[in-house]
Structure 1
Amino acid sequence: MRRALILSALIGLLTGCAGTPSDPSGVWVNQAAIDAAGKGGKLREALLAYGPNLEWKLDTQADQATFSNGFELGEGQLTQTDPKHYRVDFYGSNQEALELDGKELVQVGSDNWPEQRFLRPKEQPAAQSPAGSTFENALYAAYLSGTWIIEEGEGKGSKVKFASNGSLEGMPGFDRYALCLAGDCAAMSGDNDSIWLQQGQQGREFLFERDGDKLELFEAVNRAQSDEMPQYAPGNKVWTLERD
C-alpha cells in the first residue's frame, strides 16, 4: 500500500512537471487575444484587452528574444535567471521579465505592460517565417474563417473566402487582404477597425464592423487636411457579408 502511494505521488509529480517545457525556445502566441477576437466583435478591442504584445520568439542558444505587437518588433538579449525565469534586456535600460507557468509563457506585468500570457502553437513555424506571422495567421483563421456570402454590394451572391495567409477569393477586384492590428493604420482609423484590400500592386483601405457572422465594409473617408496624417471615418457602405 505504501509503495502504491509513493508511486502515485511520483506519477503526479512527473505529470505536473511535464507541462512545463525545459527549453522555451520557439514561437509563443497570445492565444487569449485570438480567442477573444474569434467571438466576432471589434478586433482591436480584443487585441488591446489581452495585449498589446501578440507574439514572442525565444532562442536560448543565441540568447535572443523578439516580440511583435502587430506593428513593430522588439529584439533583446535573453538571460535565464533560474529554471523558470528569464530576463530580456533591450537597447537602453528597458527590461522585461518572462516566466514559465505550466504550458504558458508569462510576460510579467510591469510599469509598461500588464501581465500577458502566451501559448506554443500546435506546430512551430519554419525558421525563416517572419516575426509575428504565426500569430497573424492564427488570428486570420479564427476571425475570418469559413465561407462568407456577399449579401449587399458588387458581386452579390458570391462566396468569399479569407485565407489565413492573407489571400482572398471571391471579393470583386481584390485577391489579398490584411487586417489592421496596430500602428499607423490604427491611428488613422480612430476607434474603427480597418482592413486593406489589394489586387496586384494596387490596394485601398476600408473600415469594417463585425457582429458575429455579419461583416460590413465601408469606404474610408479621410477627414484630415492635406498636410496632416489621414483620419478615416466610415463613408458609404460598400459590402455586407454573412458567414454561411
Structure 2
Amino acid sequence: MIKSILNFFSNKEKEIYILTSLSTFAGGSKFKDEKYWNCGQKFIAYVDCDTNQVYKTDGMISWQTKDKTMHPFEFEPKTIYKVKVKYTQKNEYLVFPLIEVTDSFAKNKQLLSLVNELLIIDSVCNIEFNKKDKYAVGELNWLGEEIFVDFYDVPDINSVKQAFSHLKEMMKNAYSWDSKLRLFIAEQTLGTVNDWLAKGSEHSKITTHILKNDQIIDNIDIQSNGDFLIMYLLKTYNFMISVEGNVNGELKKAYLE
C-alpha cells in the first residue's frame, strides 16, 4: 500500500475515478529539511464513487517517496484509473493524497464520454480543455522549439477547436510567420530596447538586424476569432517581448514585458 503524504488531511478514505492528463510527469518537490519528496500526477476530471458526481476540473493525486525518480505507479496519459485517496471537503486545490490504485485502465462511462469534450488529440498539438476555467493548453513544436500554446476565454471545446484551426493554418507557413513577427518586433521595439540597454554598461547599442535574429519563440496565446499574442525571448538579453495580431495577417503592436 502506498503511504499518503499530507498528514493534515482527514483520515477519511474515498474511491474516485480519475482521467489523467496528457502529461504523465510526476513532479517532485520538498522543503529543505524534509526527508521525502512530494510527488503527484495531474488529472483533468474525476468521479466521486459514493455520489457518482462528475467534476470537470483539474486536480492532483499526490504521494511521498524517498527518491523523486521513484514513482509508486506508472500512470498512462488520458487514461481512467480508480484510486483510493485521503479526502476532505475543504480541498480548494483538489490535491488528493494517494493511498492505492485499485483499478488500472478502469471503465467509467461518465469519464469516457468526457474524453472528446476535454481533449483534442492531433499530430500538430495535443490539447487539454479546462471547462470550469474556460481555458485550454497544449504543446507543439514551432520550428524546432517546444512551446506551450494557451487558449483563453474559450467557453466550450468547439471554441478551442476553432482557435486551434487558426493555429494550424499559421503552422503551415511557420517560417514566413516567424520571420514576419520577428521583423515587426524589431522595428517596433528597437528604440525601447536600446533605451533599456543604455541603462546598463554591459551592452552596446544594437541594430534592427541584431534584434530580429536574437529572438526565439516562447509561447502562443490564440483566440477563436484569430487574434493572437505571441511571446519571444531575447536570448542575449534575457527578457521577453510580446506581439499582438490576427491570423488574417494584421500585426497590431509589439512591446517589452
**TM-score using structure 2 length:** 0.27
The higher relative CO (CA closer than 8 Å, separation ≥ 6) is in 1
